[in-house]
Amino acid sequence: MKSIDRARQLVILSGKGGTGKTSLCAAFAHLSSQPAYALPTVFVDADVDAANLSLVLKPEPSPPHEFLGGVLAEINPDLCTACGACVPVCRYDAILPDARRESVYWIDPIACDGCAACSYACPTGAIRMVQQQEGLWYQSITPFGTLFHAELFPGRENSGKLVTLIKQYARLWADDSHAPVVIIDGPPGIGCPVISACAGADLALIVAESTLSGVHDLKRIVQTTTHFRIPTLVVINKADIYPEGVTQIQSVCRELGIALIGQIPFDRTVTDAMVAGEPVTVYRREAPSSRAFSAIWEIVFDRLITPGGTHDRS
Amino acid sequence: MKIAIASGKGGTGKTTLATGLALSLIDQGPVWYLDCDVEAPNGHLFLKPDFSRQVQAVIPIPQIQSERCTSCGRCVEVCQFHALAKVGKKILVFPQLCHGCGSCTWNCPEGAILEIPNPIGVLESGLTPEGIYYSRGLLTVSEPMPTPIIRQLKRLETPPADAIVILDAPPGASCSVVETLRGADYVLLVSEPTPFGLHDLKQMLGIVTDMGIPSGVIINRDGIGDDRLESFLDQNSLPVLLRIPFSKELAMGLAAGDSLIRVLPEYRQGLRNMYAQILEFINQGKTS
């Protein structure tokens, strides 16, 4: 194979949740390891607060690494004089009377944004900012390649920061191991962790769902990838549930100048494969969804890697 | 009464349930529907409101008054989010990193910082044909922070005391879900009997436990997948409030923008019973 200067990054997105990003990613992971490609691919699960890729790629257990996210304010009751100077500066309604010790304030860690305004306002130095461990991340070996994944602790902030962190490690690992491709399973939505998942991507593949909601959210995610100037392709999942939706997606793609490169039929084998903990292409190679994923993977890989393809942006 | 609907995993049926519940309760009091999935809101596709009001969602960002600024760098030092930087003698502001906390403004010794509104999205509200008050937030594309919009959406208008407020949460289990759930009396967790559904439900249970909000589970697409969700719920004595079996007819109807109770009218009573059950549970808690 022709040598490549650095790994190409493919990010899988959807806008709407539950359209089939992870099932597609798992199929791609398997397909990239097949003899025709035999790539030392690197995978990233960038949906860190609902991380599911490891449930199908079945990595060998690996040691966790700590993720230190932001800071939160804490009041030392021994130093607090209950002067109340901290209350008006908090814009997050996080400073409340302590139910247990009257006349002393308490900071609700769920509401605190970690801005430190209160700690600067406190005249007695009773408020300190405490570094939070907000999650764990892992580098694991799967039958198909190396997986970087993480668990954001429930309800925590800084999901974007955690996505950036594991992507950086994945990128370094890909460079060191001469992996030509990094496949990133993105989060739903269009906000902070999606933007982090998109950073530096060479190609975005959007899994759209053939429903009214799917069409609505497709527009928003395409606007996002277009804003960040990422070449974008679209596939339709569960295409046969609502044929009218397919027509609408086709016209959205035409309107926005985005290529629609495949359709995946509704196929219960996808759920069966998830239950079995396998990529659907491993579980039943001849299933309708498996055939569709294989055809899509060929097009995507070609776009990602071929000279004159997406990486040639000059 | 404030009920939030969350799931962890995306696409499990939060909006299906939330809109179905709203439409089932229209004769029980004023119904307010807050679409808190500000990154990808879909409730309006089923409830079809007539938006009559639109306001900008803004966060206050610093504007340095150069004639007063002495370039001391105190603002850069106090900002926890790297939204300010000192380059030479100039202070630069990065609006997309700013959380709007105001710390720089208060800490500037020269009073050289003014705050100006930076729009990051819009808030819209209006009535549906059934008289449901519907409001949503819409994060502007390329803006990173949904949480301030959710916070502002919840304060946009004050529901009457007897209102049934339904909060449709975003997917995931991070800060935007927490912001949606703050102040809720009850959380409905919509899951599906698959390994992904179960994994992400556990994340959500972590949040509701931390926040001390009572919750119950709705199993959507019952009959697909496996029984690991069921045994988990059994082992942890978590109540299942409602089951919606997988049906291609329902999937097709929802795809076209029909509500759950329009496709399957028999669920109206099921949802009303579920609401009565939640109400009884909450009232018991208040008296005991």
Q: What does the pLDDT look like over B163-192, one tens digit per residue?
A: 999 999 999 999 999 999 999 999 999 999
CATH number of the structural domain A68-133: 3.30.70.20
Say what the ipTM of the complex is. Answer: 0.94
Q: Where are the domains of chain A?
A: 8-58+143-305, 68-133
Q: Which residues of B touch A13 (CB under 8 A)?
A: none
pTM of the model as a whole: 0.94
Host H or E run for residue A182: strand A181-185
Q: Which residue has the tokens 């596709």?
A: B45
Q: What is the pLDDT of residues B8-17, one digit of tens each?
A: 999 999 999 9
Tens digit of pLDDT per residue, chain A (314 long)?
445 578 999 999 999 999 999 999 999 999 999 988 888 899 999 999 999 999 999 999 999 999 998 999 999 989 999 999 999 999 999 999 877 765 689 999 988 999 999 999 999 999 999 999 999 999 999 999 999 999 999 999 889 999 999 999 999 999 999 999 999 999 999 999 999 999 999 999 999 999 999 999 999 999 999 999 999 999 999 999 999 999 999 999 999 999 999 999 999 999 999 999 999 999 999 999 999 999 999 999 999 987 544 443 33
pLDDT digits (tens, 9 = 90+) for B31-72: 999 999 999 999 999 999 999 999 999 999 999 999 999 999
- Residue A198's H or E segment, with its range, is helix A192-198
Judge whether B204 is closer than 8 Å to chain A, CB to CB: yes
Least CB–CB distance from A116: residue in B12, B103, B144: B103
Which residues does chain B have within 8 Å of residue A50's beta carbon, measured at their own beta carbons? 8-10, 171-173, 196, 199-200, 203
Fold of A8-58+143-305: Rossmann fold (3.40.50)
Query: Minimal CA–CA distance to B142: which of B160, B167, B119?
Result: B119
Query: Does A113 contact B101 at a Cβ distance shorter than 8 Å?
Result: yes
> Which residues lie below 8 Å from residue A227, measured CB to CB, with a gap of 6+?
B141, B142
Fold for the domain defined by B59-119: Alpha-Beta Plaits (3.30.70)
> What does the pLDDT read at residue A1?
46
Q: Is the pLDDT of residue B3 over 80?
A: yes
Which B residues, 33 through 72, put their C-beta within 8 Å of a C-beta on chain A?
A: 37, 39-40, 42, 45
Are the Cβ atoms of B172 and A120 closer than 8 angstroms? no
- Which residue among A18, A121, A154 places its CB closest to the CB of B9? A18
Asked if B94 has any chain A CB less than 8 Å from its own CB, the reply is no
Could you say which of A50, A195, A213 has the minimum Cβ distance to residue B173? A50
Collapsing DSSP to helix, strand or coil, A11 comes out as strand
Q: Any idea where the domains of chain B sit in the sequence?
A: 2-48+129-287, 59-119
> Which residues in chain A are closer than 8 Å to B180, comparing Cβ atoms?
none
For A75, phi then psi, to 5°, come to -95, 130
Q: DSSP of chain B, one letter per residue?
A: -EEEEE-BSTTSSHHHHHHHHHHHTTTSS-EEEEE---SS--HHHHH--EEEEEEEEEEEEEEE-TTT-----HHHHH-TT--EEEETTEEEE-GGG-----HHHHH-TT--EEEEEEEEEEEEEEE-TT--EEEEEEEPTT----HHHHHHHHHSSPPPTT-EEEEE--SBSSHHHHHHHTT-SEEEEEE-SSHHHHHHHHHHHHHHHHHT--EEEEEEEETBS-SHHHHHHHHTTPPEEEEEE--HHHHHHHHTT--HHHH-TTHHHHHHHHHHHHHHHHHHHHH-
- Best mutation target, A93, A110, A119, A206, to test chain B (most B CBs within 10 A): A110
DSSP structural state of residue A289: H
CB-nearest to B39 from A47, A52, A190 is A190
CATH class as words, domain B2-48+129-287: alpha beta
Q: Residue B197: its chain A contacts at CB < 8 A? A: none
Residue type, B17: L
Report pLDDT digits (tens) over A166-224: 999 999 999 999 999 999 999 999 999 999 999 999 999 999 999 999 999 999 999 99
Interface-testing mutation among A212, A244, A256, with chain B (most B C-beta atoms within 10 A):
A212
Mean pLDDT of B152-160: 96
Reference A41, options A307, A225, A305, A313; nearest CA is: A305
Is A115's CB within 8 Å of B80's CB? yes
In the predicted model, is pLDDT for residue B287 greater than 80? no
Q: How far apart are CA A35 and CA B91, in angstroms?
A: 55
